[in-house]
Amino acid sequence: MKNLVIYGALIVNVLMSSCSQVPLTGRSQLSLVDDSALQAESVKAYNSFLSDPSTKAITAGKDAQSVQAVGNKLAAAINRYLKANGYGNKYDYDYRFTLVKSDEINAWCMPGGKVAVYSGILNVTNGDAGLATVMGHEIAHAIAQHAAERYSQMTIAQTGGSLVGAAVGNKSQATQQMVSKLYGIGGQLAILKYSRNQESEADRLGLIFMAMAGYNPDSAVAFWERMAAAKQGNGASPEFLSSHPSDATRIASIKKLLPEARQFYTGARVK
């Protein structure tokens, strides 16, 4: 019995020492993953994705230029804000933005700021403000370190007591396996399905980030309405079965978040 108490206390101590706060939202989160190792493995995964023969990167033209321009503005604004508010170099990511030729309506951001935008989503973004909406949302997942948090939750659920070893080990091989598991490395990259709470948090941060970069956050409502229309007829699962909020729930929540995001909007005209 005494050993069980000691072991339980050890687990509690590990969990408490592994907690951090999400910037801006202040939410406490659990992370059993070494962030530097996670970012290093994410770079390898990103490069592997780009070098795969099935991946067709678009490096020239107006669309590619827009992805780079919007991404750079978001990254610069986020870095300025976080450094000015005491986060130092923790989120000084080496951002990369790649437009990928694909009919898929999708975009993602790996830990450390490695972003891919699929050309199919450009029909929905309908300009730079819409592009800033989706890219701001995906970058928010990285800033909030949702991938590490998600893996930590999976570790607790699947391995129970062995999470202590995972927390103190921080071995590169384990991290590499984590990245592969979360992102489905191997050929086409699968997207990490975050929980509904994490999706909502990314919506909130994404609105703030696009506003910081000079994009009117009110335009996010129109983007998500277009996204909902594009998804019609695809047999979307009921909200309680999905890792994402329903379109109606998301749009309603975003409208409630706009007053906060507007405080970060400079009003600068961005095409």
Catalytic residues: 138
User: Token pair 């699968």 is at which residue?
Assistant: 190
CB 202 within 8 A of CB 158: no
Q: Which residues contact 54 (CB under 8 A, 6 or more apart)?
A: 187, 188
- Contact at 8 Å (CB) between 156 and 23? no
Token output for 161:
């007591």
User: Could you write out the DSSP letters of every residue in 81-144?
Assistant: HHHHTT-TTTT----EEEEE--SS--EEEETTTEEEEEGGGHHHH-SHHHHHHHHHHHHHHHHT
**Is residue 271 exposed (0-12), middle (13-18) or buried (19+ Cβ within 10 Å)?**
exposed
Shortest CA distance to 139 belongs to which of 49, 204, 56? 204
Four-point Cα dihedral 85, 89, 91, 96, nearest 10: 130
Distance of CA 53 to the CA centre of its chain: 25
